Amino acid sequence: MLFAVRMDVDIPRDLDPEVRGDLVAREKAYCRDLQKSGEWAHIWRCVGQYSNLSVFDVADNEALHRILWNLPLFPFMTIEVTPLAQHPSDLAAEDVA
């Protein structure tokens, strides 16, 4: 299943710099591992914001839930999830028919 996910990050400015550095490093490693597995299919930065738009390709809702809840920065995020389905006007849809 494909999901579009917007993640807005709001780390408190007074968070200990070492804690912040550790969280960000763990987040990056987790993200890279999920990209290598194919579950985190795409990630784009939202210019001028501490936000991203991502596409996840996972087995089901529970798989996405597990991934998101395990993000090291999850406690500091606002997340919006949108399930995706192929659009009939997509040129790629013609290749399947």
Residue 5, strand partner residues: 54, 81
The H-or-E segment that residue 2 falls in is strand 2-9
Nearest to 6, CA basis, from 73, 41, 55, 39: 55
SS3 25: helix
Domain definitions of the chain by residue range: 2-96
Q: What's the pLDDT tens digit per position in 16-66? A: 999 999 999 999 999 999 999 999 999 999 999 999 999 999 999 999 999
Provide the CATH number for the domain formed by 2-96 in this structure: 3.30.70.1060
What span, in angstroms and rounded, lies between the C-alpha atoms of 18 and 23? 9
Structure tokens at 8: 């807005």
Q: Is the pTM of this model over 0.75?
A: yes
* Contact call for residues 92 and 76 (beta carbons, < 8 A): no
What span, in angstroms and rounded, lies between the C-alpha atoms of 40 and 47? 20
pLDDT at 97 over 60: no
